[in-house]
Homo-oligomer: A and B are copies of this chain.
Amino acid sequence: MKIPAVKGTRDLYPDLLAPIRRIFDVWRAVSIRHGFEEFEGPTLEYLDLYREKSGDELVGQLYRLTDSGGRELALRPEMTPTLARMVAAQISSLPKPIKWFSIPTLFRGENVQRGRLREFYQWNVDVIGAADVVADAEVILVGVEALREMGLREADFAVHISNRRMIAAMLQAAGIAPERLSGAYALMDKSGKLEAAEFDRRWDAAYGAHLPSARLRALLASTDLNGLEREMRRIAGGSKHADAAAELEAAVAETARLMAILSDFGITEYCKLDLRVVRGLAYYTGPVFEFYDRSEKERAICGGGRYDDLLGKLGKSREPAVGFGMGDVVLALLLEEKSLRGPARRTAGVYVIDADPAARPIVHRVVAALRRAGLCADFGYAAQPIGKQLKSADKKGARFAVILGIDPADAGRVRIRDMAGGHERDATLANLLEDPKKMIGIDT
């Protein structure tokens, strides 16, 4: 009886897992190097955690289940609710700022398409308890450095940065009432997909009296901080709404400071202002960002931002927070496209061979000793002619073969063969067992 894999999940055979494990290794190493500590949480959470915290889109895609006690559970579709729950439970004892990362498996019952699966991995990097935008800059730095470490360069990807606080203040300073903001966001979010004329028509009908579409489009198309600052200050200066104008001035200064710290960090060339980045509406309160390949052909590689109000909803106290999620699927597509997938297979190191089936017990002894000395060592299970065993060594990518039982008169003699050049030399079994790395001439 043949049972297939569930659609949207992956059978990760060794050749397919190897590049993903390389991604994990880089995510982990770069996180630790930047002072982040790893945490993990349950795959299974109470459904209520997501009803409270996730947007409607994610709640609609939840895998739900009921435990034996009749409680409603869900498979986590994102890590942030778990993070917020864990931090809220220990908020008084955890030293701030909390700098944590995690690489959870996530589940979303969405349509399977390029870059979208139902079960996937996502790197999460978050700073909790720091209100200063230096924390926003640092999480962006971590993301950029991880992609750099995988071999991607500024010609390959960019971080598109906006600021939800600045956009909100700008729209209000222009005179758009707070209750009309979400409609304006939704339309801005569509600006990339609509024809310019159609966008102008819709925008001007609703908001043109306050902010003409031509002026908004110029803002959305701008990537120049100085030009944007000037235009924002002009809106603030001409505003009849003093609070919104002051808030806009502050948000512009905050954005400029974020860009300045990114410059200190040496990653200016990877970062650009892009006010078209809106992201999940309910969630973010300050700077937001998305990583895209330069061609912008693929979905976002990574998305995140500041979410200062989220923790207060689950715990006693409000805590400023900023973070991102980077999935493995779109990233792997980009690495593949740039021929940066990495090696599919590790080499076996040393392959142990007998020239005589009577030497099998010594093969077992030597292979165990080499492994215990820290070498990658392998051998064949079946008694085979030496030529076949050498062929297996080659297939496994072994750098060296150790050949035992070469001299029936002297069981203590072993031959070491460099598989690349074919060079061979002899040694004693006793010396080999005493210091395998030295005798073979291999350092890892």
The reply on A37 being an interface residue by CB < 8 A is yes
Q: Is the CB of A39 within 8 A of B17?
A: yes
The reply on A212 being an interface residue by CB < 8 A is no
Which B residues are in CB contact (< 8 Å) with A44? 6, 9, 63, 75, 107, 118-119
Q: Is the CB of B39 within 8 A of A3?
A: no
A43 to B9, CA, bound (A): 8
State which residues 1-59 of A face B: CB under 8 Å. 1-6, 9-14, 17-18, 20-21, 30, 32-35, 37-46, 48-49, 52
Q: Is the CB of B43 within 8 A of A43?
A: yes
Closest to A45 in B: B6
Contact with B along A101-128 (1 / 0, CB 8 A): 0000101010000000011000000000
The reply on A429 being an interface residue by CB < 8 A is no
Q: Is the CB of A6 within 8 A of B46?
A: yes
The reply on A73 being an interface residue by CB < 8 A is yes
The reply on A346 being an interface residue by CB < 8 A is yes
The reply on A274 being an interface residue by CB < 8 A is no
The reply on A70 being an interface residue by CB < 8 A is no
Closest to A264 in B: B364
The reply on A90 being an interface residue by CB < 8 A is yes
The reply on A439 being an interface residue by CB < 8 A is no
Which B residues are in CB contact (< 8 Å) with A85? 3, 5, 11
Q: Is the CB of A14 within 8 A of B42?
A: no
Q: How far is the CB of A377 from chain B (nearest CB, A)?
A: 7
* Also in contact, A14 and B35, with CB within 8 A (given A134-B364, A145-B372): no
Q: How far is the CB of A3 from chain B (nearest CB, A)?
A: 5
Contact with B along A337-361 (1 / 0, CB 8 A): 0000000011010000000000001
Which B residues are in CB contact (< 8 Å) with A10? 40-42
Q: Chain A, interface size: which category?
A: 35 or more
The reply on A225 being an interface residue by CB < 8 A is no
The reply on A68 being an interface residue by CB < 8 A is yes
Q: How far is the CB of A59 from chain B (nearest CB, A)?
A: 13
A371 to B13, CA, bound (A): 33
Contact with B along A187-224 (1 / 0, CB 8 A): 00000000000000000000000000000000000000
- Residue in contact with A141 in the complex, picked from B20, B32, B33, B368, CB distance below 8 Å: B368
- Residue in contact with A105 in the complex, picked from B105, B265, B369, CB distance below 8 Å: B105
Closest to A101 in B: B14
The reply on A333 being an interface residue by CB < 8 A is no
Which B residues are in CB contact (< 8 Å) with A65? 63-65, 75
The reply on A378 being an interface residue by CB < 8 A is yes
Q: Is the CB of B73 within 8 A of A67?
A: no
Closest to A47 in B: B3
Closest to A85 in B: B3
Q: Is the CB of A34 within 8 A of B105?
A: no
Q: How far is the CB of A261 from chain B (nearest CB, A)?
A: 6
Which B residues are in CB contact (< 8 Å) with A148? 372
Q: How far is the CB of A85 from chain B (nearest CB, A)?
A: 6
Closest to A69 in B: B7
- In addition to A11-B89, A134-B364, 18 A-B residue pairs with Cβ atoms within 8 Å of each other are A1-B52, A2-B88, A2-B314, A2-B315, A3-B314, A6-B44, A6-B46, A6-B73, A10-B40, A12-B39, A12-B41, A13-B90, A33-B371, A43-B119, A105-B105, A138-B381, A148-B372, A267-B368
Query: Which 3 A-B pairs rank lowest in CB-CB distance, beginning with the nearest?
Result: A9-B42, A35-B378, A264-B364
9 residue pairs of the A-B complex, CB under 8 angstroms, read A5-B45, A12-B39, A12-B41, A14-B37, A18-B38, A43-B75, A95-B395, A264-B362, A264-B368
Chain A interface (Cβ within 8 Å of chain B)? 1-6, 9-14, 17-18, 20-21, 30, 32-35, 37-46, 48-49, 52, 63-65, 67-68, 71, 73, 75, 85-86, 88-90, 95, 97, 100, 105, 107, 109, 118-119, 130, 132, 134-135, 137-138, 141, 145, 148, 260-261, 264-267, 313-315, 345-346, 348, 361-362, 364-365, 368-369, 371-372, 374-379, 381-382, 395-396
